[in-house]
Amino acid sequence: MAQTTDNAAIAETLKALEIISENAGTSTGLQTSNSGTLITSVSPVDGKDIASVTQTTPEEYEQVVQTAAEAFKVWRVMPAPQRGEVVRQFNEELRRLKEPLGKLVSYEMGKSYQEGLGEVQEMIDICDFAVGLSRQLHGLTMHSERPGHRMYEQYHPLGIVGIISAFNFPVAVWSWNTALAWVCGDVCIWKPSEKTPLTGIACQKIAARVFAKNNLPEGISCLINGDYTVGELMTKDERVPLVSATGSTRMGKQVAQTVGARLGKSLLELGGNNAIIVTPDSDLKMTVIGAVFGAVGTAGQRCTSTRRLIIHESIYDKVKNAIVDAYGQLRIGNPLDENNHVGPVIDKDAVKNYQNALTKVVEEGGKILVEGGVLEGEGYESGCYVKPAIAEAENHYEIVQHETFAPVLYLMKYSGEVENAIELQNGVRQGLSSAIMTNNLREAERFLSVAGSDCGIANVNIGTSGAEIGGAFGGEKETGGGRESGSDAWKVYMRRQTNTINYTTELPLAQGIKFDL
Ligand code: UN1
């Protein structure tokens, strides 16, 4: 058994999630097999090792793919509404386990307990959505140009869907993919982030129990563990027709190239560099809430986190002062303590990136408005707690163009019309989320128009983060172009087939071609 934490409350949480057995005492050790490289999950909350899991070997991966392929033969022929019923049962388990799962997300990843619960709520919501969808996997019917012919399209499942997810939403993003893929008739192989393997195991256990209870094969939901080398087993594998990957743009480019080289499909949801435009007609109170939550929520580690505020020069000082004041009230500390707003970043590398961003922005001519720094002393022993910082900066700075996954917010001014702000907002390589704060209908509509925001998400009087599952989620440019979760994102998990049926005794050819024998 691997090294463990002595945290009794966390041991209870792991028992509730059946990651460790009831009689495991306060030890949380866990190994999924007896051999192989160990991946230790370290909590950024207190720096303690929670437990270790073994990295999946290529031989184990081979078994997983075969189990999944077998399971697909059973699952694909089950009527979609019946698959929806299984997802409904999975959802009931999520509702029952919302608190322990939310707590484990918070402890393993470092986001606040409230946000951990919110993340599980996203899982619950997407499952609700998927259950309804299981009766709505509609295709269209077309009018054939030939008499006595019927033409329509139908959607069939793809097969094995590979899911590579990131540490920052360790469970929700998996569920956006699986809940839809499952009702579509696909089976899933999931590689969670090697930084958060335990939440992966918790979800897999929940799913496995539900499938077993319904006498369904275990391969419908599969888990593999490890770093990018394990992910590569899937991206290179022709038996995996779709790979859905969430994470950095660097990772996404690798995935796209490898999957593209074999003409597979990839669904990419990558980095963002999200801005809120604050116009003279904005509501100051709403702006402060939206911007501060967007910038410091999840310690700035959402792909939708607010990185830039583009403020009209006429109100710049007023907005700046209100935001700086609000930062003065932030409580940083243990995310399981509900009094705290901001928890740790994921690890020491993230701390370095944060420090590097603050050094670079000053080197490039920026001015620090709210000083950053790494917190030390009691409660901060993990070394991963940083102070949310604000800098005045210009959009063209190299560091501003870059997504830093930490609570660093850049403030910049625009003058004149809203188009000038939109140009700055669009003037980055990423295109995930964007927002405008305004009570001016004309400005809002210009921001949403064809000449407006170029992002996958464009909000009015809402911040950049916190999207609901009902809409399609994802973005353009270096964000990768994929869409997950709501709307018609389900279509990417299915293959479309056009069917034409001739119910006459003649065989007329399309386009009026004559071919008489
Ligand atoms: C992510 O950071 O990868 O819109 C997902 C949001 C959340 C999801 C973020 N619903 O902020």
491-515 exposure pattern, b = at least 16 Cβ within 10 A, e = fewer: ebbbeeeeeeeeeeeeebeeeeeee
- Per DSSP, 259 falls in state H
Report if residue 501 sits inside a domain: no
Interval between CA 96 and ligand 1 midpoint (Å): 23
- Whether 18 and 50 map to the same domain: the answer is yes
Report if residue 279 sits inside a domain: yes
The best mutation among 122, 303, 345, 434 to test binding of ligand 1, ranked by most ligand atoms within 8 Å of the C-beta, falls on 303
Report if residue 417 sits inside a domain: yes
Interval between CA 388 and ligand 1 midpoint (Å): 19
Report if residue 511 sits inside a domain: no
Interval between CA 482 and ligand 1 midpoint (Å): 14
**pLDDT tens string 55-100:** 999 999 999 999 999 999 999 999 999 999 999 999 999 999 999 9
- Whether 490 and 436 map to the same domain: the answer is no
Q: What is the maximum alpha-carbon separation in the chain? A: 90
- Whether 333 and 379 map to the same domain: the answer is yes
Structurally, the chain folds into a number of domains equal to 2
Sign of CA dihedral 321, 324, 328, 334: positive
- The answer to whether the CB of 479 is under 6 A from ligand 1 is no
- Whether 163 and 238 map to the same domain: the answer is yes
Q: How far is CA 243 from the centre of its chain?
A: 14
**pLDDT tens string 394-451:** 999 999 999 999 999 999 999 999 999 999 999 999 999 999 999 999 999 999 999 9
- Whether 316 and 258 map to the same domain: the answer is no
* Helix or strand (DSSP H, E) at 409: strand 408-414
Interval between CA 370 and ligand 1 midpoint (Å): 25
- Whether 287 and 181 map to the same domain: the answer is no
Report if residue 291 sits inside a domain: yes
CATH code for the domain of 225: 3.40.605.10
- Whether 237 and 353 map to the same domain: the answer is no
What is the amino acid identity at position 255? V
Residue nearest to atom 3 of ligand 1 (CA): 303
The best mutation among 164, 302, 462 to test binding of ligand 1, ranked by most ligand atoms within 8 Å of the C-beta, falls on 302
Report if residue 228 sits inside a domain: yes
Report if residue 506 sits inside a domain: no
- The answer to whether the CB of 126 is under 6 A from ligand 1 is no
The best mutation among 164, 251, 293, 304 to test binding of ligand 1, ranked by most ligand atoms within 8 Å of the C-beta, falls on 304
Report if residue 509 sits inside a domain: no
Rounded to a whole number of angstroms, the distance between the first and last alpha carbons of the chain is: 76
- Whether 163 and 136 map to the same domain: the answer is yes
Cβ-Cβ contacts under 8 Å for 330 (sequence gap 6 or more): 292, 296, 341, 342, 388
- Whether 40 and 61 map to the same domain: the answer is yes
**pLDDT tens string 124-175:** 999 999 999 999 999 999 999 999 999 999 999 999 999 999 999 999 999 9
CATH code for the domain of 341: 3.40.309.10
Measured CA to CA in angstroms, residue 267 lies from 237, 443, 485, 492 at distances of: 16, 33, 12, 8
Give the C-alpha separation, 93 to 171, whole Å: 14
The chain-wide mean pLDDT, for the chain, equals 95
- Whether 98 and 206 map to the same domain: the answer is yes
Atom of ligand 1 nearest to the CA of 473: 4
Domain holding 61, by residue range, is: 3-270+483-496
- Whether 421 and 367 map to the same domain: the answer is yes
Give the C-alpha separation, 352 to 209, whole Å: 41
Interval between CA 124 and ligand 1 midpoint (Å): 15
- Whether 298 and 153 map to the same domain: the answer is no
Atom of ligand 1 nearest to the CA of 468: 10
